[in-house]
Chain A
Amino acid sequence: MSQYTNYIGKPTNRVDGPAKVTGAAKYAAEFNVPNLAYGVVVSSPIAKGKIIKVYSKPVLKIPGVLAVFSHENVPNLAWFDRNYKDDVAPGGSPFRPLHDNEVKFSQQPIALVVADTFEVARYAASILEIEYEEEDHETDIELKRTEGFMPGRGKSGWMPPPPPRGKPDKEWKKAAHRIEHEYIHGAQHHNPMEMFATTTEYHPDGSITAYDKTQGVYNAQQYISKIFGLSKKQARVVTEYMGGGFGSGLRPQYQLFMSVMAALELKRSVRVTLTRQQMFSFGHRPYTLQYVKLGTNPDGTLAALQHHALHETSRFEEYTENVVNWSGMLYQCDNVKLGYQLAELDVYTPLDMRAPGAATGSIALEIAMDEMAFEAGLDPVDFRIRNYAETDQNMKKPFSSKRLRDCYHQGAAKFGWEKRNPRPRSMRDGNMLVGWGMAGGVWDATQKKSAAKATLTADGRLEVSSATSDIGTGTYTIMTQIAAQYLGLPIEAVTFKLGDTDLPEAPLEGGSWTAASVGTAVKNVCEEMGKKLLKQAQKMKGSPLKKAKFDDVEFVNGQIRLRLDPDQAVVIRDVLQASGKEKLEAETSATPNMLKQMQHSMHSHNAVFAEVKVDEDLGTVHVTRVVNAVAAGRILNLKTARSQVLGSIVWGISMALMEETIMDHKFGRYMNHNYAEYHIPVNADVRDLQVLFVEEEDEVVNPLGVKGIGEIGLLGVAAAIANAVFHATGKRVRTLPVMIDKLL
């Protein structure tokens, strides 16, 4: 008999699928609680200056308008910066909504108008008169090239670049082949489909439930608790479904503050939803200038590698991400210099956006590697394999596992790379130039402390819970699979709950660590539950498991049975019924095994192969084929994992060809702040995309052997496409995205 409850790894339909396809899944702005008021945010038209006056009076006379909140009348709140710091706040002084009369960036929230209906609030907000004193602003990083500084205080997870090793300058000058180029990409905004919203339900006892759009309910809870002086009991935060995050929901956004503030002041439930334009008012992937110098020895090994990055941050926080560090570990090179600087501008603080830092750094490094291979007359895959890093030279540690070589080989084979004519402009399809390019990437495998709870009821149903998130990543599904497998229950009998501060604490969903972290907690709690079940089973009359130790039994197909004699089994449902208990409960947490992990460098890897077709006369590029080979440890669900990587490829196409937020420096304002002019791919932009998972075992990263899949798929995609464009046309575009005007 097959072990049908072995769910891990199987392509499994999303357990939240039926709720999502029927519209039953409720997102933050969809909790229509009674007596709800609506808040609309008024944003600053200027980039820098002072608010002289907010003329609230005329607006307050409009029937239905309940309040106008601004710095002029915001209630007394927490005073210290630390109260406004969230778990992932960078160094500096966090932005406080409605705090004072300072305008620090364009589209800064200046006021909140609350009314009985959304339409009245929107209208009143549109006519609220505000007087400003404008000051000169600086938003152009091109003018700050010489004013970069090394950040003093990063945020959690940020590592300053390692010190230089070897003689990077000298060896570069001596190298047989050399390249040095600058690479640039502009700002990008996360733009999840769901606009940020919070529905704050006000309860008669003064407590609140905030239905918020956040990637971490605990982070949001501690933020509002500290600001508004609420106890954790008084401030529950719920995010059952989230319409996309990509990092935008890591930090509590200002609609949470606004909604909670208004609800507490008005003692009434209040919903605040941002507009799509306001989705461009907080956090973005920073505009980044990068400079790469590479040199090779006659045998094609890297003689020297230098990678420097300068990106924007705000005046009030030092946003940091790991842009260049990857370049010191992805390839073997003994002469390396990495540099990283920030420049302050009058913009909002940038914000982690899918594969923060790595997505940016890999564009420069991997286009440069392609240029270097071309210069040295080497095949790009061959060149990378010649420089394969067997250890992490940054950390001087072995990798816990690294199957990148297999990514290169398997990806190349699936793509048909051996048929590539290395000469640019040599391949054609009718009138179109065809280009084949490749690139690769690396991302962290991280585990964070997480807790989970399990309840098994007499009807044989298991509920497991943890306050993690599912931002579309598949958390609901993989946790259900893990729980079902570890307790040997049919998947239909298992429910996983998340996104609620009433549940055990879990970290923010980000950094690709959720599967590893929460997954291990779920495994642990199910093992706890298993032990309790075994104890009860042993109490049963004539139990065949009487003398069994926990390691002697397995939980399979709804039974507990002896591993060595599977016929000796009891049915799990019967155990509970025999015990006379209505339910069994277990709660535990999982922490990383630091002893083991400290000795290793833990990463996922990928290799991407892309085909483009370029209409040279018209400058149009279509990505016709992509193969993305990923080594990310154990894959928990082939279906949802594949979707994550497919989505990453679409993101890569977007970064390579169309996505960019345009700032008009005269106004210090992003101008294409809508979905019509901020282009992300549509269905017609996406053709043949293939995902390949390279088998990889890893006993160090966590007991499940998973490395996470949310970011790694994005790495290398944009560079592979840019490299393919060069192969097709002979034109090297170093300022992404590659748009029509750059190819004419």
Chain B
Amino acid sequence: MNPFTYSHATAVDDAVRDKASHHDAAYIGGGTNLLDLMKENVERPTHLIGLNRLPLTKIQNDPEGGLRLGALATNADTAWHPEVEKRYPLLSQAILAGASPQLRNMATNGGNLMQRTRCYYFYDTATPCNKREPGSGCSAIGGYNRIHAILGTSQSCIATHPSDMCIALAALEAVVRVSGPNGERTIEFADFHRLPGNAPHIDNTLRPGELITGLDLPAKGFEKNYSYLKLRDRTSYAFALVSVAAALELEGNTIKDARIALGGVAHKPWRDTDVEDALKGQPATADTFRKAATQLLQGARGFGSNDFKVELAKRAIVRALKQATEMKQGPTEAFLNSNP
């Protein structure tokens, strides 16, 4: 870990100004990912701007019938918030499927969006990695890539986005509120994270100095039919090999609206709105789900050790949609069932 200075920000404007006045500054919320990476010498900011005194911890209804999540509300407080549990149980379930209780108590909503990949090579400075050191090469391609991406990959990077929460946020079409040197703006969730292309060191579409201040959840929460299914190498406290956030609006057995977001398979939460649109009007049957799954994975390709993810993702989609349809679990115990 390299030397750095530290300052507490007390207002969003101060934080943004502080960031602009330092060359290598970083915002720090919960710190759970940033400090991890700083100890690995992967991130090396020379100035940290502490955010936890900013008044961005509230979770409150917004005028359009949605819910606004403060960027600095912790993952745990968000997951267990009565309004989230009631109206956006998919989000609760996804958050609780991630990390550990301790980390969820520390990690903030804004920070969750900023998580960097768990790629072994990204973390190990002894190996080349385009995301860590642009131009050095991708060690995962041709290396050990069991946990890597199968969709939206590029020749320079096959890393995955590691969050669970973001998969649900993608399905729910949250909107990211940011504040920067040029004022405030909003970013559609689908546009927030990016694919690696030839610039894998850039994870998202934030502009320099911008700070996430909140997340807006639209009114529609799919609270009746949803499922977050996470498949991993142990029952808890492990990153997803594949995860699925599935949300349905049903009329009888007919699908009126559908959302499917995949985690663990791409550089960003993966959605295909064409597939979702095609589900509308279809019966909620295994057959329908299988077709959707096949269509969603059409462009997928493995890199050796992760070839199995293509089939696993298909099956996980079918299962998640089935679980969302049947809703055998109540929202409170749902998080226990994210591992079938």
Could you list which residues of chain A lie within 8 angstroms of chain B, going by C-beta atoms? Answer: 45-46, 106, 119, 122-123, 126-127, 615, 617-620, 622, 657-658, 662, 664, 666-667, 669, 671-674, 676-677, 679, 681-685, 739-741, 744
Verify A679–B231 contact, CB threshold 8 A: no
Verify A671–B121 contact, CB threshold 8 A: yes
Segment of B21-29, B219-227, B267-275, B307-315 in the binding face: B307-315
Please give, as numbers and ranges, the residues of chain A lying within 8 Å of B231 by CB-CB distance.
618-620, 740
A-B pairs with beta carbons under 8 Å apart, 13 shown: A618-B231, A664-B143, A664-B144, A667-B127, A671-B124, A676-B238, A677-B120, A677-B239, A682-B238, A683-B236, A685-B235, A740-B231, A744-B311
Chain A: minimal CB distance from B220 (Å): 28
B217-245 CB contacts (< 8 Å) to partner A: 231, 233-239, 241
Verify B120–A666 contact, CB threshold 8 A: no
Our pick among A106, A617, A679 for the contact of B233 (Cβ within 8 Å) is: A679
B259, CB-defined interface residue at 8 Å: no
B3, CB-defined interface residue at 8 Å: yes
Q: How far apart sit A512 and B144, CA to CA, in the bound complex (Å)?
A: 37
Q: A615-B340, A741-B308 are in contact. Are A684 and B236 (CB under 8 A)?
A: yes
Please give, as numbers and ranges, the residues of chain A lying within 8 Å of B311 by CB-CB distance.
744
Verify A618–B316 contact, CB threshold 8 A: yes
Our pick among B41, B233, B308 for the contact of A658 (Cβ within 8 Å) is: B233
Chain B: minimal CB distance from A738 (Å): 11
Chain A: minimal CB distance from B143 (Å): 5
B182, CB-defined interface residue at 8 Å: no
Verify B234–A741 contact, CB threshold 8 A: no
Q: A618-B312, A676-B118, A677-B120 are in contact. Are A685 and B144 (CB under 8 A)?
A: no
Chain B: minimal CB distance from A614 (Å): 10
Q: A682-B234, A740-B231 are in contact. Are A677 and B118 (CB under 8 A)?
A: yes
Give 3 nearest A-B pairs by CB, closest first: A45-B126, A741-B308, A684-B235
B319, CB-defined interface residue at 8 Å: yes
Please give, as numbers and ranges, the residues of chain B lying within 8 Å of A615 by CB-CB distance.
340
Verify B2–A123 contact, CB threshold 8 A: yes
Q: How far apart sit A622 and B340, CA to CA, in the bound complex (Å)?
A: 9
B339, CB-defined interface residue at 8 Å: yes
Chain A proximity mask over B119-142: 1 for CB below 8 Å, otherwise 0: 011011111000000000001001
**Which chain B residue has the least Cβ–Cβ distance from A685?**
B235
Q: How far apart sit A657 and B120, CA to CA, in the bound complex (Å)?
A: 21
Chain B: minimal CB distance from A43 (Å): 8
Our pick among B39, B235, B319 for the contact of A618 (Cβ within 8 Å) is: B319
B11, CB-defined interface residue at 8 Å: no
Q: How far apart sit A684 and B319, CA to CA, in the bound complex (Å)?
A: 22
B316-338 CB contacts (< 8 Å) to partner A: 316, 318-319
**Which chain B residue has the least Cβ–Cβ distance from A662?**
B144
Apart from A126-B2, A744-B312: 16 A-B pairs, beta carbons within 8 A? A126-B1, A126-B41, A618-B312, A618-B340, A664-B120, A664-B127, A666-B139, A666-B143, A671-B127, A676-B238, A677-B118, A677-B147, A682-B238, A683-B236, A741-B146, A744-B311
Q: How far apart sit A666 and B140, CA to CA, in the bound complex (Å)?
A: 11
Q: A620-B340, A672-B120, A679-B238 are in contact. Are A666 and B142 (CB under 8 A)?
A: yes
Please give, as numbers and ranges, the residues of chain A lying within 8 Å of B339 by CB-CB distance.
620, 684
Verify A671–B144 contact, CB threshold 8 A: yes
Please give, as numbers and ranges, the residues of chain A lying within 8 Å of B1 by CB-CB distance.
119, 122-123, 126
Please give, as numbers and ranges, the residues of chain A lying within 8 Å of B312 by CB-CB distance.
618-619, 740-741, 744
Chain A: minimal CB distance from B116 (Å): 13
Please give, as numbers and ranges, the residues of chain B lying within 8 Å of A684 by CB-CB distance.
234-237, 339
Chain A proximity mask over B32-43: 1 for CB below 8 Å, otherwise 0: 000000010100
Chain B: minimal CB distance from A528 (Å): 51
**Which chain B residue has the least Cβ–Cβ distance from A126?**
B41
Q: How far apart sit A739 and B339, CA to CA, in the bound complex (Å)?
A: 14
Verify A658–B319 contact, CB threshold 8 A: no
Please give, as numbers and ranges, the residues of chain A lying within 8 Å of B316 by CB-CB distance.
618
Please give, as numbers and ranges, the residues of chain B lying within 8 Å of A739 by CB-CB distance.
233
Q: How far apart sit A622 and B233, CA to CA, in the bound complex (Å)?
A: 11
Q: A45-B126, A662-B144, A671-B121 are in contact. Are A740 and B340 (CB under 8 A)?
A: no
Q: How far apart sit A372 and B39, CA to CA, in the bound complex (Å)?
A: 51
**Which chain A residue has the least Cβ–Cβ distance from B39?**
A122
B186-227 CB contacts (< 8 Å) to partner A: none
Please give, as numbers and ranges, the residues of chain A lying within 8 Å of B236 by CB-CB distance.
682-685
Chain B: minimal CB distance from A579 (Å): 57
Q: How far apart sit A119 and B1, CA to CA, in the bound complex (Å)?
A: 8
Q: A45-B126, A666-B142, A681-B234 are in contact. Are A618 and B315 (CB under 8 A)?
A: yes
Q: A615-B340, A672-B120 are in contact. Are A679 and B234 (CB under 8 A)?
A: yes
Q: How far apart sit A643 and B3, CA to CA, in the bound complex (Å)?
A: 45
Most central of B41, B126, B236 by chain A CB within 10 Å: B126
Most central of A106, A119, A126, A622 by chain B CB within 10 Å: A126
Q: How far apart sit A672 and B127, CA to CA, in the bound complex (Å)?
A: 13
**Which chain A residue has the least Cβ–Cβ distance from B315?**
A617
Chain B: minimal CB distance from A542 (Å): 66
Chain B: minimal CB distance from A509 (Å): 29
